[in-house]
């Protein structure tokens, strides 16, 4: 007898599960229930409709119910919300939202892919005003765009500096709005460390967005927002993008187990605590391969993989579950920013002993058009050298480098493996020693104690405490901008000026991007100097790290001029 | 006592070895001997000077002897050729090319990085004419460009369709020349299989280059070239780029062992048969990790890695030698083409049992600007599923996908590993199920016998022998261009028209890119059909495969119209 499989939710996870199920069983009866009016839309593309990069709202919807029926013999019931699961009877209660009618459907297997909903804190006064929007589906984005257009709105506040917040802010900015981006933490994009994220802060600021950190919304008015700090921000419309909450109500009410992170608990086969009910996507709790702890991950790629795995398991096909590492990428104006695995905050929280490198090599051969510096941070476990994570920001192909690291993490690779990777090279695409190879070499030096480093985050302290800093760039570079109090001894004069280097206290060296300071340190160490530190990221890294906060706080600069090239 | 280390050759391998040696030993005396006038130039960037993408010839030279001295305390003697090694005395005989003086220098360790020289077959009449050029160094490329300019040359023949040949042809074409590209094999770019390379052939032809395959040069005249076939090609200048020969003369005369492939034989530490002489770069024989056989590989990345390893070994630092896999990438007009590991020819030659998939997914979400199809071929070992190699061609980031595959190959990854890779995704950068994940899924289906496939290379046979081919695209797609004799049963009508599908003979299915034909096959197989084949690459793949040869040979088309979208 053929199986009857019902799927709750028709976006990434639900649609993928259903089509995979069809390929595994031509005779199964498969029905998708979607409470919204659309199935299988590109939720990741929604923000691009605001700027017109995606011109046509219809194009956001990838498949309609008719196509599902015709191509896959899958029935899709949009505007039908599943409101209850009766596990003992193996039925669901469905509400047809267009008629209000409620009806039951029997299942042999049930797949839950309800997703996650944008958080709207009730504590904010005016949170349900008509000028407050969230971005979850095609209807949401259409409402927002229509409202902006009809009311000729110029000032928009975007609350939350995560993926959706940034993409919405950018696309509205591209459409000519004045944007205030308000984030409760001291940085946007939590997957990036505080040092790396300053590069994004600069980009946001450089594009005329008013970036407000460490502040939250208290009250939403008709044409303004009042922040916790008391600050008033002009805003005729507001987009809430502070995060999402997994849609677990249905599962919870059915008595399915909920995990410690608040997502639906599933086993390695994406089966809930009921053997006939599976759950996938943003609503579930997954296993982090690196921290070895449960987590949640609202990303389309993992959702699709989980959906396929759940479908496979229903048909007794063995499933591999490698856990998640969390790989993501975002375009932000002229920059691309990608990351994978753990950042410093996460590694610390997980109690993992780690170290890191921060390098800024060119993303392709310097002679080539559009060659530009790539900021690259790599974390590795101590003492094993196992790769833990990476963050990359630049104008070039950061995603390429992060995908290589993600692959290595999944394969339990180490710095030694990364150093030896034989990647494809031509001057238009990279350098003979790619960014990632380079990072591994520096990482091995750090891991093996070949030289010591201090992070860019500590440079202000060094300068303020009159540490002995040597800038080994050429004089003309030094004169164009340098750390206050830094001594200039170009690498090209170093060997003649060794007696100028003190031996009675720590000496900190930097150049533009640490290539020359590394060579300087190696030479000096061979001469017997043993209290030397390389400033990780060097002057380029320092410039980026200091810039945003200098401008926002008006604090004293620790350098005479920035250098971003 | 400090070591005296001499380095022969000052480009990628030599310069890298010398600087690494300096970092390992401040007191060593290090001298680079370079017979040309420049050290450390970007040989991979040379062709770009022809089009003006690299505007300034000087910029091709990355470092001069003065900078080497000042920054690294390394002496560089340009225009000094090492003409003999006296191993028993541990000396080299050097000829100062500017004065003709010969002199000896003693070494403790010697590093050979002599490179490889462009082949000029003596059998070609006129091969040493003044209008015949090769591209090895800055002087060569300057000579070529100057000659073209001074003689106002319009017609150039480029002999050889490898990396250098294609890059020279493209850059001269961009500079407005009429180009004939002549290749002795039946395809350009040997690292790509014959099916994949047709995409490059089309691109070359579409950009107005006269591409002549399976033909060689017999005689070079003043303003023409006579080919083996008797064909006369107009050419006032000619660039020989048929390959390189490792510079082994010095090593051979010194009695150093030469490997079976003609490169200098080295051990795992890049040490020659003399324990005090190392060799790196294009002149050596390396170990192919996949074929498990010696090979040669003229690429900058491996050369740099070898140089570093040799330097490390001189200072007793253990070296890892993973062998090579051969990863490379080229830009060709609007296309990017990258590959890694083995192609079909190589796998066959090595006696490896393999299978493959050829898919053509979008390189990013279809809604995004510049989304375009990526041709992707993946080879894997049977029955292990171990990844053996991949080839990718398209307008987008082929290098990203190939780097992921290269990483997996180095880590001994399988199709299962590739399927589960968690790569970074946003609509501007890829798709939630990336090209490489997708390839793994199809690969597992092939490996597990879930469905059968025939390659695009066999489609002509099928059409000519009246095989039963079903095109499951929609009617409007079929009508815009289809295989002659193919029957159109859209996937959306398949289940209603099952009785039109014969059971007494093989049935071949395709759609645009095999997404729908895959679903069709799965459905039909569940209904009991068991003699079905998917046409790998589908109509898009067939179009690309047939186009070039149809146009060049004027043979009968097997399709009514091509489709390249």
Q: What pLDDT is stored for residue B1 in this prediction? A: 75
Q: Enumerate the residues of chain B whose CB falls inside 8 A of the CB of residue A426.
A: 44, 163, 328-331
B422·A326 Cβ contact <8 A: yes
Query: Closest residue of A to B71, CA-based?
Result: A492
Q: What pLDDT is stored for residue B153 in this prediction? A: 97
**Whole-angstrom Cα distance, residue B430 to residue B424?**
8
pLDDT band at A62 (very low <50, low <70, confident <90, very high): confident
Q: Which among A59, A71, A422 is the nearest to B325, CB-wise?
A: A422
Query: Closest residue of B to A318, CA-based?
Result: B416
Q: What pLDDT is stored for residue B62 in this prediction? A: 84
**What are the pLDDT digits (tens) for A383-394?**
999 999 999 999
A425·B305 Cβ contact <8 A: no
Give domain A453-553's CATH superfamily: Rhodanese-like domain (3.40.250.10)
A365·B53 Cβ contact <8 A: no
Q: Which among A71, A429, A437 is the nearest to B399, CB-wise?
A: A429
**What are the pLDDT digits (tens) for A407-449?**
999 999 999 999 999 999 999 999 999 999 999 999 999 999 9
Taking the CA of residue A392 and the nearest CA in chain B, the distance in Å comes to 12
Helix (H) or strand (E) holding A199: helix A194-206
Q: Enumerate the residues of chain B whose CB falls inside 8 A of the CB of residue A420.
A: 305, 320, 322, 410
Q: What pLDDT is stored for residue B418 in this prediction? A: 98
B365·A44 Cβ contact <8 A: yes
Topology of the domain comprising B132-242: FAD/NAD(P)-binding domain (3.50.50)
**Whole-angstrom Cα distance, residue B415 to residue B386?**
6
- Tell me: pLDDT of A249 over 90: yes
**What are the pLDDT digits (tens) for A362-384?**
999 999 999 999 999 999 999 99
Interface with chain A: mutation pick from B322, B426, B472, highest number of A CBs within 10 Å: B426
What average pLDDT does range A74-92 have in this prediction?
98
Q: Which residue has the tokens 């597992």?
A: B444
B425·A44 Cβ contact <8 A: yes
Q: What pLDDT is stored for residue A84 in this prediction? A: 98
Q: Which among A73, A329, A365 is the nearest to B426, CB-wise?
A: A329
B423·A301 Cβ contact <8 A: yes
Q: Enumerate the residues of chain A whose CB falls inside 8 A of the CB of residue B304.
A: 432-433
Q: Output the 3-class SS for A405-420.
A: HHHHHHCCCEHHHHHH
Q: Which among A26, A338, A416 is the nearest to B320, CB-wise?
A: A416
Query: Closest residue of B to A367, CA-based?
Result: B54
Q: What pLDDT is stored for residue B422 in this prediction? A: 97
Q: Which among A331, A424, A492 is the nearest to B71, CB-wise?
A: A492
Give A40 or A287, the one with higher predicted confidence: A287
Topology of the domain comprising B4-116+245-314: FAD/NAD(P)-binding domain (3.50.50)
B410·A417 Cβ contact <8 A: yes
Query: Closest residue of B to A336, CA-based?
Result: B429
Q: Enumerate the residues of chain B whose CB falls inside 8 A of the CB of residue A12.
A: 432
Q: What pLDDT is stored for residue A553 in this prediction? A: 87
Q: What pLDDT is stored for residue B12 in this prediction? A: 86
B423·A367 Cβ contact <8 A: no
Q: Which among A45, A330, A406 is the nearest to B421, CB-wise?
A: A406
**What are the pLDDT digits (tens) for A496-544?**
999 999 999 999 999 999 999 999 999 999 999 999 999 999 999 999 9
The answer to whether A495 and B73 are in contact (CB under 8 A) is yes
- Tell me: pLDDT of A247 over 80: yes
Query: Closest residue of B to A59, CA-based?
Result: B367
* Tens place of pLDDT per residue across chain B (565 aa): 799 999 999 988 999 999 999 999 999 999 999 999 999 888 899 999 999 999 999 999 988 999 999 999 999 999 999 999 999 999 999 999 999 999 999 999 999 999 999 999 999 999 999 999 999 999 999 999 999 999 999 999 999 999 999 999 999 999 999 999 999 999 999 999 999 999 999 999 999 999 999 999 999 999 999 999 999 999 999 999 999 999 999 999 999 999 999 999 999 999 999 999 999 999 999 999 999 999 999 999 999 999 999 999 999 999 999 999 999 999 999 999 999 999 999 999 999 999 999 999 999 999 999 999 999 999 999 999 999 999 999 999 999 999 999 999 999 999 999 999 999 999 999 999 999 999 999 999 999 999 999 999 999 999 999 999 999 999 999 999 999 999 999 999 999 999 999 999 999 999 999 999 999 999 999 999 999 999 999 999 999 999 999 998 889 999 999 999 9
Is pTM beyond 0.90? Reply is yes
Q: Which among A71, A365, A427 is the nearest to B519, CB-wise?
A: A71
**Residue B559 bridge partners (DSSP):** B483
Q: Enumerate the residues of chain A whose CB falls inside 8 A of the CB of residue B324.
A: 422
A23·B327 Cβ contact <8 A: no
Q: What pLDDT is stored for residue A1 in this prediction? A: 75
The answer to whether A312 and A22 are in contact (CB under 8 A) is no
Find the Cα–Cα–Cα–Cα dihedral A145, A149, A153, A154, rounded to 10°.
80
A42·B367 Cβ contact <8 A: yes
Q: What pLDDT is stored for residue B378 in this prediction? A: 98
The answer to whether B27 and B82 are in contact (CB under 8 A) is no
Q: Enumerate the residues of chain A whose CB falls inside 8 A of the CB of residue B73.
A: 495, 523
Give start and end residues of each alpha helix (H) in B411-559: 415-420, 435-447, 459-464, 475-479, 491-494, 515-526, 538-553
**What are the pLDDT digits (tens) for A100-122?**
999 999 999 999 999 999 999 99
A320·B420 Cβ contact <8 A: yes
B367·A400 Cβ contact <8 A: no
B432·A301 Cβ contact <8 A: yes
B422·A330 Cβ contact <8 A: no
Interface with chain B: mutation pick from A30, A45, A71, A191, highest number of B CBs within 10 Å: A71
Angle between helix axes A515-526 and B65-72 (nearest 10 degrees) is 50
Question: In the CATH hierarchy, which top-level class contains the domain A327-450?
Answer: alpha beta
Taking the CA of residue B43 and the nearest CA in chain A, the distance in Å comes to 10
Q: Which among B303, B411, B416 is the nearest to A417, CB-wise?
A: B411
Taking the CA of residue A519 and the nearest CA in chain B, the distance in Å comes to 6
Equal CATH topology for B4-116+245-314 and B132-242: yes
- Residue B509: C-alpha distances to residues B512, B524, B543 (Å): 10, 11, 15
| Residue A198, token pair as written in the block | 């300053």
Q: Which among B24, B45, B421 is the nearest to A410, CB-wise?
A: B421
Q: Which residue has the tokens 């109690």?
A: A351
Q: Is the N-terminal amide bond of A57 cis, ω within 30° of 0?
A: no
Residue extents of the structural domains in chain B = 4-116+245-314, 132-242, 327-450, 453-553
Q: Which of B464, B448, B440, B297 is nearest to B376 (CA)?
A: B440
* Concatenated DSSP letters of B355-380: EEEEE--BSS-TTSTT--BEEEEEEE
A422·B406 Cβ contact <8 A: yes
């Amino acid at each position: 007898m053929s199986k009857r499989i019902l799927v709750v939710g028709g976006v990434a996870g639900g649609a993928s599960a259903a089509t995979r199920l069809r390929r595994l069983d031509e005779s199964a009866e498969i029905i998708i229930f979607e409470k919204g009016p659309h199935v299988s839309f590109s939720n990741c593309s929604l923000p691009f409709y605001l700027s017109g990069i995606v011109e046509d709202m219809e194009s956001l919807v990838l498949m309609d119910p008719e196509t599902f029926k015709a191509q896959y013999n899958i029935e899709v019931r949009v505007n039908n919300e599943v409101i209850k699961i009766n596990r003992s009877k193996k039925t669901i209660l469905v509400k047809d939202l267009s008629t209000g009618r409620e009806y039951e459907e029997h299942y042999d297997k049930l797949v839950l892919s309800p997703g996650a909903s944008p958080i709207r804190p009730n504590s904010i006064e005016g949170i349900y005003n008509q000028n407050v929007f969230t971005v979850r589906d095609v209807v949401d984005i259409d409402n927002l765009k229509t409202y902006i257009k009809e009311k000729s709105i110029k000032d928009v506040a975007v609350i939350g500096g995560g993926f959706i917040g940034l993409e919405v802010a950018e696309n509205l900015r591209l459409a000519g709005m004045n944007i205030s981006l308000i984030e409760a933490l001291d940085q946007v994009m939590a997957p990036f460390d505080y040092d790396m994220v300053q590069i994004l802060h600069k980009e946001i600021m450089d594009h005329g967005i008013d970036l407000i950190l460490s502040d939250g919304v208290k009250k939403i008015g008709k044409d303004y927002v009042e922040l916790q700090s008391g600050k008033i921000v002009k805003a005729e419309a507001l987009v809430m993008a502070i995060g999402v909450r997994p849609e677990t109500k249905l599962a919870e009410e059915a008595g399915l187990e909920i995990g410690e992170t608040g997502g639906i608990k599933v086993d390695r086969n994406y089966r809930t605590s009921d053997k006939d009910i599976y759950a996938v996507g943003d609503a579930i709790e997954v296993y982090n391969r690196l921290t070895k702890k449960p987590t949640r991950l609202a990303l389309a790629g993992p959702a699709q993989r989980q959906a396929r795995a759940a479908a496979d398991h229903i048909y007794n096909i063995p499933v591999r579950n490698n856990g998640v590492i969390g790989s993501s990428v975002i375009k932000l104006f002229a920059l691309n920013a990608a990351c994978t695995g753990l950042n410093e905050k996460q590694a610390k929280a997980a109690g993992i002993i780690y170290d890191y490198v921060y390098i800024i090599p060119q993303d392709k051969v310097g002679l080539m058009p559009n060659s530009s510096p790539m900021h690259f941070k790599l974390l590795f476990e101590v003492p094993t050298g196992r790769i833990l994570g990476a963050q990359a920001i630049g104008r070039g192909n950061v995603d390429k480098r992060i995908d290589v690291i993600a692959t290595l993490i999944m394969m339990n690779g180490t710095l030694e493996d990364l150093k030896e990777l034989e990647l494809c090279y031509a001057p238009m695409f990279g350098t003979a020693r790619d960014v990632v190879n380079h990072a591994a070499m520096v990482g091995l030096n750090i891991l093996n104690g070949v030289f010591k480093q201090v992070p860019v985050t500590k440079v202000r302290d060094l300068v303020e405490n009159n540490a002995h800093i040597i800038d080994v760039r050429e004089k003309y570079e030094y004169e164009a901008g340098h750390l206050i109090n830094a001594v200039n001894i170009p690498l090209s004069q170093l060997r003649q000026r060794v007696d100028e280097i003190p031996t009675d206290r720590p000496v900190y060296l930097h150049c533009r991007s640490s290539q020359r300071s590394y060579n300087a340190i190696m030479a000096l160490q061979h001469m017997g100097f043993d209290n030397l530190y390389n400033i990780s990221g060097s002057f380029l890294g320092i410039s980026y790290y200091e810039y945003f906060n200098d401008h926002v706080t008006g604090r004293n600069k620790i350098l005479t001029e920035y250098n971003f090239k």
